[in-house]
């Protein structure tokens, strides 16, 4: 197998990737909490780890990719009660919306998409093990909590010692806990909560805490120890720290070998969040921008770096992606297989093997496009399309991309209207009314349509 290096958050260094089983990779990524539409932060997680699993597969690995769905949570219960609907109705609706968004962004379905509510018995089993080992206790309020100070290596992932950690905005204050840092494994049922979020247990009726869900689902589907665990940077503490404490505390050995975290999406250099009111849903962005442009925008930045969102950056991404598609429009790819030993393919692979360095890999695509434009080589066009395909890019017809408008766009000219104006311009030129022909060209440009006159009197068009 090709040597891949991954930045391991746990080691704080790039490490050579050595899977537990030769040729096979087991990867778990924390997915969405489904009580609302997905935003661009969710898009980045989905696209980044879709890229990771694509490259692992392209490198010859057999990948088992698990991305969970959190379908039981305080926010879900609150929203369902506010709406006067069942939990399953609310979560079902937003799971369907999430699937639509992911498909639009070219995100392949994971091999498994477990829902937390389907794994409550496995969660109870882990909690039972933790209690038997002195790492879990039932508090006076009925909750079962994890005893953080009884797990010596707590804080290893986040690089914080127990003495440095304080109960803050991310740690629920509760006087019934032995320590403010202790976190809930099993929440005692409240009379005000719907019956569908109450499960029987030896500690009484209740529901799981958030952290235990991922420990149970990953363990059940990938084993007690596996290769890669991913998620957003914001999950490093406390969620992933707590997953380690639970899983290693219950099973007595290492949980995950490589931890990967993608960076935040920022707006005006502030983290995008609902609390700041500066978040954008995927579907709102797709009303203005083609979904492949959004995917390209995410991938042209390194997954660990912050990504600043703005219309200007999306516009730039659209123009850049148009350059690649234009090269393929002018010189269609031949049908031969991708040459993995060709110079550009080797440079592309070297970039991707270096902690999935998509900015450098995409720079290789632009080098290829420039050579396609110069040399008109269908073989290099094939390399361009084939390598881009490993990132989930450039797989449509060039004309489809260059002439497409975002699905939700309003007020733009459709293809029929553009065709009528092109015909009117051709008639004006034939009548030597060049002022009218120029006026139509300018009118179309103002509407975001660029005309390109080709030899033989043919006029082609694309969206600006």
Binding residues for ATP, by number, are 274
* Separation CA 454–CA 421 (nearest Å): 17
Instruction: Look up tokens 């379905």; give the residue.
Output: 109
Bridge partners of 136? 146
* Separation CA 350–CA 340 (nearest Å): 12
* Separation CA 395–CA 425 (nearest Å): 32
Contact, 26 vs 62, CB < 8 A?
no
* Separation CA 282–CA 293 (nearest Å): 12
Three-state secondary-structure class, residue 27: strand
The closest alpha carbon to 214, from 131, 102, 126, 99, belongs to 126
Q: Which residues are annotated as a binding site for Zn(2+)?
A: 30, 214, 239, 243
Contact, 346 vs 42, CB < 8 A?
no
Q: Which residues are annotated as a binding site?
A: 30, 214, 239, 243, 274
Contact, 29 vs 230, CB < 8 A?
yes
Which residues, including other chains, have CB under 8 Å from residue 82's CB and lie 6 or more apart? none
What is the Cα 98 distance to its own chain's centre? 11
């Amino acid at each position: 197998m090709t040597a891949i290096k991954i930045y391991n958050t746990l080691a704080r260094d790039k490490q050579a990737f050595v899977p537990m089983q030769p040729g096979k990779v087991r990867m778990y990524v924390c997915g969405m909490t489904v009580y609302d539409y997905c935003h661009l932060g969710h898009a980045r997680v989905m696209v980044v780890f879709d890229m990771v699993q694509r490259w692992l597969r392209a490198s010859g690995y057999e990948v088992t990719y698990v991305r969970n769905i959190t379908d039981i949570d305080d926010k879900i219960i609150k929203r369902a009660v506010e709406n006067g609907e069942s939990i399953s109705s609310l979560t079902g609706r937003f799971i369907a919306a999430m699937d639509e968004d992911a498909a639009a962004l070219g995100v392949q379905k994971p091999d498994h998409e477990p829902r937390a509510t389907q794994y409550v018995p496995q969660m109870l089993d882990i909690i039972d093990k933790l209690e038997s080992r002195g790492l879990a206790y039932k508090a006076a309020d009925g909750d079962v909590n994890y005893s953080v100070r009884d797990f010596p290596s707590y804080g290893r992932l986040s690089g914080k010692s127990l003495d440095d950690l304080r109960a803050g905005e991310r740690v629920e204050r509760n006087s019934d806990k032995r320590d403010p840092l202790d976190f809930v494994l099993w929440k005692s049922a409240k009379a005000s909560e719907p019956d569908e979020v109450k499960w029987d247990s030896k500690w009484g009726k209740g529901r799981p805490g958030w952290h235990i869900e991922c420990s149970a689902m990953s363990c059940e589907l990938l084993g007690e120890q596996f290769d890669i665990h991913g998620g957003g940077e914001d999950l490093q503490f406390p969620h992933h720290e707590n997953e380690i404490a639970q899983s290693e505390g219950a099973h007595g050995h290492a949980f995950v070998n490589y931890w990967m975290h993608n960076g935040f999406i920022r707006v005006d250099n502030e983290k995008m969040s609902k609390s700041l009111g500066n978040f954008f849903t995927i579907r709102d962005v797709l009303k203005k921008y083609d979904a492949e442009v959004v995917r390209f925008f995410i991938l042209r930045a390194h997954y660990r770096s912050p990504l600043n969102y703005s219309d200007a950056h999306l516009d730039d991404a659209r123009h850049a992606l148009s350059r690649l598609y234009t090269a393929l429009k002018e010189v269609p790819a031949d049908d031969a297989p991708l040459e993995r030993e060709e110079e550009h393919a080797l440079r592309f692979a070297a970039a991707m093997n270096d902690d999935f360095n998509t900015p450098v890999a995409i720079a290789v695509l632009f080098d290829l496009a420039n050579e396609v434009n110069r040399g008109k080589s269908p073989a290099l066009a094939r390399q361009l399309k084939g390598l881009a395909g490993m990132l989930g890019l450039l797989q449509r017809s060039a004309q489809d991309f260059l002439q497409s408008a975002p699905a939700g766009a309003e007020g733009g000219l459709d293809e029929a209207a553009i065709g009528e104006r092109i015909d009117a311009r051709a008639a004006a030129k034939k009548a030597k009314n060049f002022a009218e022909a120029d006026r139509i060209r300018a009118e179309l440009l103002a509407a975001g349509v660029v005309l390109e006159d080709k030899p033989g009197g043919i006029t082609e068009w694309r969206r600006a």
